[in-house]
Every structure is written in structure tokens, then in C-alpha cells.
Structure 1
Amino acid sequence: MIEGEVAPAKINLAQDILFRRDDQYHEVAMVMASIDLSDYLTFELIPENKIIVETSRAFLPEDNRNHAFQAAQLMKKVGNIQSGVHISIEKRIPVAAGLGGGSTDAAAVFRKLNTMWDMNLPLSELQALASRVGSDVAYSIAGGTALVEGRGEKISLIQPAPKCWIILAKPAISVSTRKIFQQLDIDRLKYEPNTPKVLAALENGSYDDLMAAIGNSLEGVTFSQHPQLARLKQQMLHFGADGVTMSGSGPTIIGFTQVYSRGHRIYNALRGFCQEVYMVRVMPEPFEQFKS
């Protein structure tokens, strides 16, 4: 029997890098939200004691360099599973875009194998396992809108954003999160954290306050390496977005509007600058099995 699982992308409404920890990871405070742009995974249990991962993008690894493969490997070990699984990933989320594509695929594997292999681990255990695969994977297990702290393992579901349209523009460049963090100089980050202001705006349900609060402390580093992203941000504002920021470590730039017709105009205007442009909405709810 073949079963499917949706793996939604995420955006950052806020991303603050606070300090470098003693373990050399960075302490973060972020507000993440799932959006209705998703990869789609299919699963088939097989009698052979092995993991097979296939993707629709020829350049992506299909061995233990793939986060989905790592997630299956970890679940297999924890559950002492002696059979195997064949996983096919239909990629719709842009790769290396700051939208959590690899992380959400791994999260989908944790969710689906938890039921298909009758492991029935609670959310907290799944998230603990997910943190061993990647820093964004734990958040992606339940999805929704959440405050994410620590190195990504402290997750609190919060009030979702007011209804709006989000335009994503991903230029034809790839950004390495690892390299961005390697070049990040915490002592030179002179800015007021965005996360507290975003949390207050969400709690009050104020779209205008949210637009004034969104931000990403990695923009300076990523923009210095890719100046076209700073220009893209200004273009999006010029075309009428109410607020614009970068998602993750980039290069995707995201703009917001509550008016569909304006969003469509921004979408059409940006397609002249970027091959990958999307108009999406926030998915306010976590996955059904993790609703409180």
C-alpha cells in the first residue's frame, strides 16, 4: 500500500541571531509560519531491510546526505524496524531557498513512518529525534505558526498572522546556510530584535504592526554577498508590498499584502526579475494530529 504526506514550506516572520553558544551553535529567536507551497512525499513499505529515497530533482542526493533519508534511518533504528521503506519526493518547494524544503521533507518522514510503522511516538519525542537531523526539522513536525528558540528545539505554537497574501521571489542563486553563519559576526550585528515586536503584533492581531515588525538579522550578511537581493527587496516594496523581508538565510524575498489584486500585480511584476515567483497564504493550523 502506498500512502502520501504533504510537506509544507515555511517562512520567517522574524529571525534573530542572539549569540554564539558554547557548543558553537547559534542561539536563535524566530517566528516561523507554514505556507501552502508544499512538496509531496509517497511512502511504500517494502520487505527488504533498506531505505530507498527518490526525488524529482536529479541534482539532489538520495543517500544519507538527504535529510529525508536520515529521518527514515533514525526512525528505523529507534523502532528496531527490520523491514524497509521506499520514499518518493515530488519537489515543489525551491531548493536552497530559505524555505525549509529539506527540513519539511524530513519532518514528513518522521510523521508518516511514526504511523506506518506503528511507533506512535508523541510529538515531544518526534521533535527530539528531528533536532538530530536538522535545526528546522523539529518545528516542521507540527508546522503552523510558532516561536522557535534555542538552536531550534524550543517550539511554542502561537497566534497565526492575520489573513494576507504572501509573494515569494526566489532568484536563480543558491545560498548556503552554513556559509552564511560562518561569515556572521555576532558582535557587529547592531539591530533591535524583531521577534518580540512580531509576537506582540500577532497577539494583538494587528496586520499593520506585523508589517512594521517583520525582519531578519541575516539580511546584512546575505545581501553583502548577493546585492541583487537588496534590489529585489526594494522592487517588491516599490510594486506595492506592505512589508518585505528575507526568509531564512535567503535568497527568497517575501512580501505581504491583504489585497488579492495588488498581490497579483506584484507577482506579475516580479516574474520579469525572477523565474521562481509564488503567491501563497499562511497555513494557520498545525497538522491535525498535533492540535491541542
Structure 2
Amino acid sequence: MLVKAYAKINLSLDVVGKREDGYHLLKMIMQNIDLYDVLKVDEIKTGIQICSNNRYIPSDKRNLVYKAAKLFIDKYNIKNGISINIDKNIPVSAGLAGGSADASAILKVMRNIYTPEVSDKELSELGLNIGADVPYCIIGGTALCQGIGEKVTPLRPFRNHILILIKPPFGVSTAEVYKDLDISKIKRHPNTEILIDAVNKSKLEMLSKNMKNVLENVTLKKYPILRKIKSDLINFGAVGSLMSGSGPSIFAFFDDMVKAQKCYDNMKTRYREVFITRTI
């Protein structure tokens, strides 16, 4: 069985508080894009087997896909095992929820095979044990995500908008970014209500001008090249640019495919991981 696991971008990311256990409280708008990993899934007699075309992907219990499969097998007392081959296209450690997307895809596949009566809500609650992005990845599309990521409210689909995505040649630790974030020093927060209105009306320019990610306060300060990438994308005619998640990936929306293609062609000469894609 082949299944696609789609990357996400943040149309906004706000940190509105912090729990006593150290987890940050978030308010963000998430969006799937047409960039995906392909997972080949087969039932086996016992155990969990994982392999990938990417040598940086662990094949043991460190892998979120392994954790998802193990969690599902234990939760629902599944007797059989599973073999998973991950054809990795989503950049790693990029702020695109690649690992969470793969984990959620496996949870949905195993649900469909073994326990079709399990709801998305129950599956999301299970997935939250793996990572905060997993509940969103199970629902997908365009959504408002709150809490630590577990409260997912679907929005009107913001589909078919062109974007360029650039992953610089380094990764970022999400835990380190949140650790370095001082909530009291955030001067400007996203106006989530305006962004939701822009999504509902499918107004690209309105959304692009109001996109905001408060984690840029940390990551862009540490990696100045990201500011240059954003500036270059705007100079190529993008209507707006933003960092996704904790970074380092930067994306920009375009209202014209010709401008987007020119930008892509230029950026591809500078960076290895450049994608021209759309929201879905």
C-alpha cells in the first residue's frame, strides 16, 4: 500500500502562554502544501521494520513513524507487524512537520487496516503522544491549531495558491528555539482573526500582508541568512514571505506563476532544496 504524507507550512504562529509543565501554548494557522513523502506500507507477521532513501532517517525507535506504529500496536493490541519504506521528499529538521506527517499517515493506515471504527479525534489524542503537530497532520488541510497543538479547528480550504519554499543547508532544533523565546519581549503578535477572514475569503494579498511567526524573533536573529532569503523572495515579486514553524524553511506566496518560476530558477542556483508548489 502506498500513502502520501503532506508537509505543512504556518500561515501564522503565535505563542500566547506557557504551561506549568513547560509546554508553550500556541495559536497558529496551519496549511498543507503539495510536497509529500511517499510511504510504502506492508503487513508482516511481527515487529516494526523501517527503511528510507534518506540516510539521516533513523530506522529504530527514534523515528516518529516507529513510535506511531508501536503506539498503535500497543493501544489496540495488534498481533501483526508492519514494514514501512519512507521515500523522503520533505526536508528534514525544516519546520515542515515531515516526521509528524509520516507518523500521522501511519496511524491512519493502521487505523484503516485494523480499527476503522476509531475516530479522527481518538487517533489525534493518540498522536499527541508522539508530537504536537501530529493531531493537525491527521486532520490536514487549512486549520486553526491551539493549545499545544491538540485543538484543531478546520477552516475553509485555502487551496491552489502558488508558493516557493526554500530550506537552507542547516537544521534547527525546535526545542532550542522555544527555550530561547522570551514571551515578554514579543512586541507584535499575529492578528489571527484577520488571517482567518483572509482564508475564508481566499484573499491571498490580505493574508500575505498579515502573516506573522513570533519564532522568527529567535531563529532569524540566530541565522541572518534567513532575512536575506525573505528579502530576495520579496524582490522577486512575492506578495509575502514567512518562516515555517521554528525554521529554517522560508516560503513566499506568488500571485503569478511566471514570477514564481523566475524566482525558483534563480534560487535553485543558490540553494539545493528549493521547491515550487501550491497549497492543497
Q: Same fold (TM over 0.5)?
A: yes
Listed one character per residue, the Cα deviations across residues 152-181 of structure 1 (whole Å, up to 9, x for unaligned) are: 000011012264201001110111111111
Listed one character per residue, the Cα deviations across residues 227-280 of structure 1 (whole Å, up to 9, x for unaligned) are: 100111111111111100110111111000121111101111211221110011
The answer on whether the counterparts of 2:195 and 2:211 sit within 8 Å (CA) in structure 1 is: yes
Alpha carbons of 1:31 and 1:279: their partners in 2 closer, same or farther (altered >3 Å)? Answer: same
Query: 2:181 corresponds to which residue?
Result: 184
Aligned length: 280
Query: 1:37 corresponds to which residue?
Result: 35
* SS of 2:226 mapped into structure 1: helix
Query: 1:27 corresponds to which residue?
Result: 25
Distance (whole Å) between structure 2 residues aligned to residue 104 and residue 275 of structure 1: 22
Distance (whole Å) between structure 1 residues aligned to residue 258 and residue 178 of structure 2: 37
Verify: 1:199 aligned to 2:196, yes or no.
Answer: yes
Alignment of 1:169-180 (within 5 A): 169-180=166-177
Distance (whole Å) between structure 1 residues aligned to residue 76 and residue 191 of structure 2: 40
The percentage of aligned residue pairs carrying the same residue is 37
Deviation at 1:197, TM superposition (A): 2.1
Q: Which runs of 5+ in 1 are unaligned?
A: 284-292
Distance (whole Å) between structure 2 residues aligned to residue 25 and residue 118 of structure 1: 31
The answer on whether the counterparts of 1:162 and 1:207 sit within 8 Å (CA) in structure 2 is: no
The aligned amino acid for 1:124 is: K
The answer on whether the counterparts of 2:34 and 2:279 sit within 8 Å (CA) in structure 1 is: yes
Query: 2:45 corresponds to which residue?
Result: 47
1:240 to 213, 237, 240: 237
* SS of 1:263 mapped into structure 2: helix
Query: 2:207 corresponds to which residue?
Result: 210
The answer on whether the counterparts of 1:164 and 1:259 sit within 8 Å (CA) in structure 2 is: no
The aligned amino acid for 2:178 is: F
Verify: 1:107 aligned to 2:104, yes or no.
Answer: yes
Listed one character per residue, the Cα deviations across residues 101-156 of structure 1 (whole Å, up to 9, x for unaligned) are: 00000000100000122353111000000111000011001211000000000001
Verify: 1:254 aligned to 2:251, yes or no.
Answer: yes
The aligned amino acid for 1:240 is: G
The answer on whether the counterparts of 1:166 and 1:263 sit within 8 Å (CA) in structure 2 is: yes
The answer on whether the counterparts of 1:31 and 1:145 sit within 8 Å (CA) in structure 2 is: yes
Query: 1:225 corresponds to which residue?
Result: 222
Distance (whole Å) between structure 2 residues aligned to residue 273 and residue 20 of structure 1: 38
Distance (whole Å) between structure 1 residues aligned to residue 69 and residue 116 of structure 2: 13
When the two structures are superposed, what TM-score results if normalisation uses the length of structure 2?
A: 0.97
1:83 to 60, 80, 83: 80
Pairwise CA RMSD of aligned residues?
A: 1.1
Distance (whole Å) between structure 2 residues aligned to residue 113 and residue 56 of structure 1: 22
